[in-house]
């Protein structure tokens, strides 16, 4: 699907989709095409439904993965192929309302302490202390560090929006130690290939290794550090509005999910079983 891929890639760029989203959409369409062994031009509603059910039933794909595929195919048929009717009767999988996994402060500290490579430790510290998304961390440039104002500039984050978030003094110290050893030029965290940033997959491997060494059993991912950042700020008394700004959420409703995982108010509530025992004693 060489020509079709280039056509879709151009449409994604014209729509202002981020490089990360472009990569995901193109990969999903390619996998759909390979599954059926034919070009998407030759496929329609029946094959789309069959493939989405295959992802759910056989691949046991997550809701987010299935929905990524759905939106990628919707973009392909509606925008690139101008066949909007193809997706008209394809159901959209309802997203599950799951609470985020959160590490406590001791678990976060243990991740840092077991990570001896200063580059890897600086990455994990920066993601947690500034509440970064995976690809935001990967695409940071040296010039995004504002040590005078203790701010970190995030360019073209999710939704193609720029924002500022806080820069931790502890993280800055780790960054300076990393700088003295690696001397990064353009990308703050350079990858293996010249002129390229560290990949998201490489950062994920750093977290997986650290989690194993720290003995953390929770199903934590790199994004868990961002969830932990928001939850710990909330527990420390930071208001939701400022947490929303730091995270780059479009809506405050998105940020309110951390109210459900914060222990600040929950620890004040006494279980009815304990209330009863207090009266007895």
- Enumerate the β-bridge partners of residue 145: 152
Tokens at residue 237, please?
């008394």
CB of 174 within 8 A of CB of 121?
Answer: yes
Tell me how far apart the alpha carbons of residues 264 and 168 are, in angstroms, rounded to a whole number.
Answer: 23
Neighbour tally for 74: CB within 10 Å: 17
Q: Which two tokens stand for residue 133?
A: 């998304």
Cβ-contact 87, 77 below 8 angstroms? yes
As annotated, the active-site residues are 133, 158, 223, 226, 249, 258
Contact of 113 with 231, CB cutoff 8 Å: no
| String of DSSP letters for 21-53 | HHHHHHHHHHHHHHHHTS-GGG--HHHHHHHHH
Q: Could you tell me if 124 and 138 are in contact, meaning their C-beta atoms sit under 8 angstroms apart?
A: no
């Amino acid at each position: 699907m060489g020509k079709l891929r280039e056509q879709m890639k151009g449409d994604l760029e014209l729509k202002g989709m981020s490089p990360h989203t472009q990569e995901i959409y193109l990969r999903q369409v390619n996998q759909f095409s390979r599954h059926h062994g034919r070009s998407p031009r030759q496929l329609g509603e029946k094959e789309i439904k069959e493939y989405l059910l295959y992802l759910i039933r056989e691949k046991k794909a997550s809701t987010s993965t299935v929905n990524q595929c759905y939106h990628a195919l919707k973009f392909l048929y509606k925008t690139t192929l101008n066949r909007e009717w193809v997706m008209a009767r394809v159901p959209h999988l309802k997203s599950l309302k799951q609470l985020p996994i959160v590490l406590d402060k001791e678990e976060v500290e243990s991740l840092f302490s077991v990570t001896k490579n200063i580059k890897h430790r600086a990455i994990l510290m920066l993601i947690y202390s500034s509440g970064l998304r995976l690809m935001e961390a990967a695409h940071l440039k040296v010039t995004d560090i504002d040590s005078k104002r203790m701010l970190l500039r995030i360019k073209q984050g999710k939704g193609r929006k720029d924002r500022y978030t806080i820069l931790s003094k502890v993280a800055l110290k780790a960054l300076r130690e990393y700088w003295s050893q690696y001397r990064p030029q353009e990308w703050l965290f350079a990858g293996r290939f010249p002129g390229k940033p560290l990949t998201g997959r490489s950062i994920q491997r750093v977290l997986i290794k650290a989690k194993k060494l720290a003995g953390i059993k929770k199903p934590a991912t790199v994004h868990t550090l961002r969830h932990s950042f928001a939850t710990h700020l909330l527990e420390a008394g930071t208001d939701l509005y400022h947490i929303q700004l730091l995270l780059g959420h479009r809506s405050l409703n998105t940020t309110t999910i951390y109210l459900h995982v914060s222990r600040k108010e929950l620890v004040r509530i006494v279980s009815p079983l304990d209330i009863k025992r207090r009266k007895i004693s």
